[in-house]
Chain A
Amino acid sequence: MLWLALHLPLLSLEAFCATLAEADRQRPVVLFDGHQVSAVNAAAAQCGIRPGMKRATALALAADLLPGQADAARDAAALQAVAHVALAFTPSVTLHGTQTVLLEVQASLRYFGGLPALHQRLQDALAPLGHPVPHRVQRAAAPTALGAAWLARWHPRGQGDLVLGTHATQPAALQRLLGGLPVDLLGAAPAQAQAQALQAMGLHTLSDLRQLPRAGLARRFGQTLLDDIDRACGQRADPREWLTLPAAFESRLELHARADSTEQVLLGAAVLLARLVAWAQARQARVAAFTLAMQHERSSRPGGDATAPATELRIELADPALDPAHLQLLLRERLAHCALAAPTLELRLHCSHVVQASAPNGELFPTRASESAGLVRLLERLRARLGDTQVQHLVAVADHRPERASLAVPAQGAPSSNPAPGDAFTPASAALPLHRPAWLLPEPLPLAERGALPWLEGRPLQLVSGPERIEAGWWDGEPAARDYFIAQAEDGSLVWLWRGRLPAVPGAVQWFLQGRFA
């Protein structure tokens, strides 16, 4: 058994900083737990604020302090994301305390090519999670779970590898390492009284504790302390419950400052999208659709509705993907079209639609499959920006009326996989002469007539070919009985125009321009 522990000492601070706007991240940030300071960032530490101070002291030391409340739910959500990343490497993942994730990796070592390679891959996978900088992670490896957790929390200088962190692969080596563990790391974090009592007795490290008689230690400090030491050294069993992955992804982020613009909403959404990608990777699936719900401010006007309205944005992908940049771009383009009714206070991301198939292989040289996949992605991005109906395919319809002979349908997915509507079919190109124009006007343009000739843009047209009679459509209520002519304009270009077989007003002939030959 080889346990890997990932300890995140600044998790609550980093989770809070992820909810801040861009401009606020440079300020000194302090987290308060009740009335005491629980975490400070670098800028606040420079002002002299330390954990344990009172609220008033902290506010007095830094003028532009950004105070925040410690929130256990927010920290738990951030730790869940780290655990989901770890689940992509091994199925045996469990949480320890509020800041540590434990992985059992003995069975995965051979697949990932050894412990250093596994460490590197874990680091790369954890990098996109923290915002704006990756989480600060202390790593340790040991044959027992509790031993690894303690080593990661202790993180002794000079004791471990730069790459691997503190690590011990044999129980004897672990016991020697653990000998130097300071006693205030034993037991639960808030057990300050126990640590002070031990230090008052002159016991500073774990090796001091082990030299004492066990019965006396158990009577003074309780059996749990002895049990923990035994579990850490491997002399007692330490069964753990493995973490299970939820079937649907649900995560919320409460923004610190209300978001008035798309950019601010996107910053918060980026955090949630990174968590979504981590969850989907742990499930070995790709995201096919997700929903972003934006909770707005309640209107304070009398008579407004009591429940806060929420705007839901559902994004469906034509080709399931796991690329956070691609998802971010789709969300950005859709948000640009969405009008927000009120400033946003909270973001919620929900995803239950994933595709279990394995991802397509990355290829060195482009093949037809990768080309069509890339084209689908391009069409998706264009549709997100311009609208679903603006990206079209043309379909030839078997109808003699020219305005019905060609139909533009919105494009979904790859061009060759698009199902054509019932009337459509592919005309054989060799069988057609070129007597149809390539450009058809959306509506026929009426032309003036002078001297028995139609006039276009102040110039007479010369009829050179025709008439071609098209009578169709008597069966669906839009009959067309037209005589089509090809005419030459003054500059030599050819146009297609028609006049009705039976004039609408007797005696007057009305010419219409239908298209141009290109």
Chain B
Amino acid sequence: MALSPSLGSCVAPATLQVSAARPVPAPATLPLFPSARPARSPEELHPALWRAHQLGRAQEVVLASGFADLDAQLPGGGWPAGVLTELLLPHAGVGELRLLAPVLARQQGAQRSLMWFDPPAAPCAWALAALGIAVRQLVVVQSRQNLKHRAREQLPAADILWALEHALKSGHLGAVLAWLPARLPADALRRLQLAAQAHEGPAFLLRGVQARNQPSAAPLRLLLASAGPDTLRVTLLKRRGPPLAQPITLALPPVLSAPARARALAGRVAPRAAVTAVTAVAAPRTATAA
């Protein structure tokens, strides 16, 4: 069978054929080794084997992300469960929660709880409900509360790492999101990766972009950036498979209405013209006044 470079499609897991199951009819000419089988490609032997140009098949459970373009590029076709996934953001608020909302909502639908560690700002319960995340099944753990941004970064991460490790090892959570500080001890991610093996859902670590050049034990690393209003650009930095040259552009659930979006896109093209446009436009009032 010819080796086809299948970037987007997954090869079906093959099963080992036992040679004694069916008697092979005697060939016309005697082969040198009667028990030799015709050579097959190694990736048919076991699901864990894959070639460098193919996309790796995930051994563990994968959960669909809700975005078809992204699923096509992730090994296994979704977010992997039981391992760490690292998301690098330039700043909070590029659309990361809208990206993760489908998988979080599905885990909650299966009666599991979510746990968030040290979110960068106060989460708004109304917005989370609009995204489909039930706040009754969400626990927020703050290890460095009431501190300004710079002080939070300086504080050692011992408490949050301890809490994260225990939460992953307990195995009672559906999904875990953790906003980690920039400076971590050398083997912290390795320990978390080992602890995540007892976890039955996805574990997302959200860090700043300066962690891009630091080595990480997480098998999947994505760089998120905003590419316009309600659009997210995802660059796959590391995955089990060939590196992706072009970043993927995903359309997020919209915050802006269509005219507002048109205005925003026009503004990105010509910023000067948008300054006068805003003062001229009379936007309709939405009915939320008390």
Q: A-side interface residues toward B, CB under 8 Å? A: 368, 371, 374-375, 377-379, 381-382, 385-386, 389-397, 400, 402, 405-408, 411, 415-416, 418, 426-429, 432-442, 451-453, 460, 462-472, 486, 488-489, 491-495, 515-518
Would you call B131 an interface residue if the criterion is a C-beta within 8 Å of the partner chain's C-beta atoms? Answer: yes
Residues of B within 8 A of A427 (CB): 125-126, 129-130
> Bound complex: CA of A377 vs CA of B170, how far in Å?
9
Residues of A within 8 A of B225 (CB): 491
Would you call B263 an interface residue if the criterion is a C-beta within 8 Å of the partner chain's C-beta atoms? Answer: yes
Chain B interface size band reads 35 or more
With A440-B122, A462-B271 as known contacts, state yes or no: A495 contacts B130, CB within 8 Å: no
Minimal beta-carbon separation of A500 from chain B (angstroms): 15
Residues of A within 8 A of B275 (CB): 451-453, 462
The answer to whether A436 and B127 have CB atoms under 8 Å apart is: yes
The answer to whether A371 and B260 have CB atoms under 8 Å apart is: no
Would you call B286 an interface residue if the criterion is a C-beta within 8 Å of the partner chain's C-beta atoms? Answer: yes
With A382-B166, A415-B139 as known contacts, state yes or no: A440 contacts B121, CB within 8 Å: yes
Would you call B268 an interface residue if the criterion is a C-beta within 8 Å of the partner chain's C-beta atoms? Answer: yes
What mask results when residues 93 to 137 of chain B are scored 1 for a CB within 8 Å of chain A, else 0?
Answer: 111111000000000000111000001111111111111101111
> Bound complex: CA of A500 vs CA of B123, how far in Å?
23
With A374-B170, A488-B268 as known contacts, state yes or no: A434 contacts B229, CB within 8 Å: no
The answer to whether B289 and A469 have CB atoms under 8 Å apart is: yes
Q: B-side interface residues toward A, CB under 8 Å? A: 90-98, 111-113, 119-132, 134-143, 145, 159, 162-163, 166-167, 170-173, 225-231, 253-257, 260-261, 263-264, 267-268, 271, 274-275, 278-279, 283, 285-286, 288-290
Minimal beta-carbon separation of A166 from chain B (angstroms): 46
A-B pair number, CB within 8 angstroms: 225
Minimal beta-carbon separation of B178 from chain A (angstroms): 13
Candidate in B132, B162, B290 with the most chain A CB atoms within 10 angstroms: B290
Residue of A at shortest CB range from B137?
A415
From A385, A452, A465, contact of B260 by CB (8 A): A465
With A392-B140, A492-B268, A493-B226 as known contacts, state yes or no: A405 contacts B255, CB within 8 Å: no
> Bound complex: CA of A518 vs CA of B131, how far in Å?
10
Residues of B within 8 A of A393 (CB): 135-136, 138-140
Residues of A within 8 A of B111 (CB): 368, 371
Minimal beta-carbon separation of A511 from chain B (angstroms): 13
From A394, A452, A470, contact of B288 by CB (8 A): A470
With A465-B260, A467-B283, A493-B93 as known contacts, state yes or no: A438 contacts B131, CB within 8 Å: yes
Residues of A within 8 A of B253 (CB): 434
Could you list 14 further interchain pairs (A-B, Cβ under 8 angstroms) beyond the known A393-B139, A402-B124? A375-B173, A377-B170, A382-B163, A386-B141, A391-B142, A392-B139, A394-B138, A415-B136, A426-B129, A438-B97, A440-B123, A440-B124, A486-B260, A517-B93
Minimal beta-carbon separation of A321 from chain B (angstroms): 14
Residues of B within 8 A of A411 (CB): 139
From A429, A452, A489, contact of B132 by CB (8 A): A429
Minimal beta-carbon separation of B152 from chain A (angstroms): 12
With A375-B172, A462-B264, A517-B255 as known contacts, state yes or no: A386 contacts B285, CB within 8 Å: no
The answer to whether B98 and A518 have CB atoms under 8 Å apart is: yes
Residues of B within 8 A of A390 (CB): 141-143, 145
Residues of B within 8 A of A453 (CB): 275
The answer to whether B264 and A491 have CB atoms under 8 Å apart is: no
The answer to whether A516 and B140 have CB atoms under 8 Å apart is: no
> Bound complex: CA of A406 vs CA of B226, how far in Å?
26
Residue of A at shortest CB range from B118?
A390
The answer to whether A432 and B226 have CB atoms under 8 Å apart is: no
Minimal beta-carbon separation of A85 from chain B (angstroms): 30
Residues of B within 8 A of A472 (CB): 290
Residues of B within 8 A of A451 (CB): 275
The answer to whether A416 and B167 have CB atoms under 8 Å apart is: no
With A375-B173, A385-B159 as known contacts, state yes or no: A462 contacts B274, CB within 8 Å: yes
With A439-B122, A440-B121, A465-B256 as known contacts, state yes or no: A516 contacts B129, CB within 8 Å: no
With A392-B139, A460-B271, A465-B256 as known contacts, state yes or no: A375 contacts B113, CB within 8 Å: yes
Minimal beta-carbon separation of B235 from chain A (angstroms): 14
The answer to whether A378 and B121 have CB atoms under 8 Å apart is: no
With A464-B260, A518-B93 as known contacts, state yes or no: A386 contacts B283, CB within 8 Å: no
Residue of A at shortest CB range from B225?
A491
> Bound complex: CA of A416 vs CA of B142, how far in Å?
20
Residue of B at shortest CB range from A391?
B141
The answer to whether B125 and A405 have CB atoms under 8 Å apart is: yes
> Bound complex: CA of A468 vs CA of B285, how far in Å?
6
The answer to whether B126 and A432 have CB atoms under 8 Å apart is: yes
Residues of B within 8 A of A371 (CB): 111-112, 172
The answer to whether B228 and A492 have CB atoms under 8 Å apart is: yes
Closest 4 CB pairs of A and B: A516-B93, A396-B125, A492-B226, A465-B260
Residue of A at shortest CB range from B132?
A429
Residues of A within 8 A of B279 (CB): 452
Minimal beta-carbon separation of B137 from chain A (angstroms): 5
Residues of A within 8 A of B91 (CB): 493
Minimal beta-carbon separation of B118 from chain A (angstroms): 10
Residues of A within 8 A of B278 (CB): 462-464
The answer to whether A416 and B137 have CB atoms under 8 Å apart is: yes
Candidate in A432, A465, A488, A518 with the most chain B CB atoms within 10 angstroms: A518
Residues of B within 8 A of A440 (CB): 121-124
> Bound complex: CA of A147 vs CA of B131, how far in Å?
75
Residues of B within 8 A of A489 (CB): 226
Residue of B at shortest CB range from A402?
B124
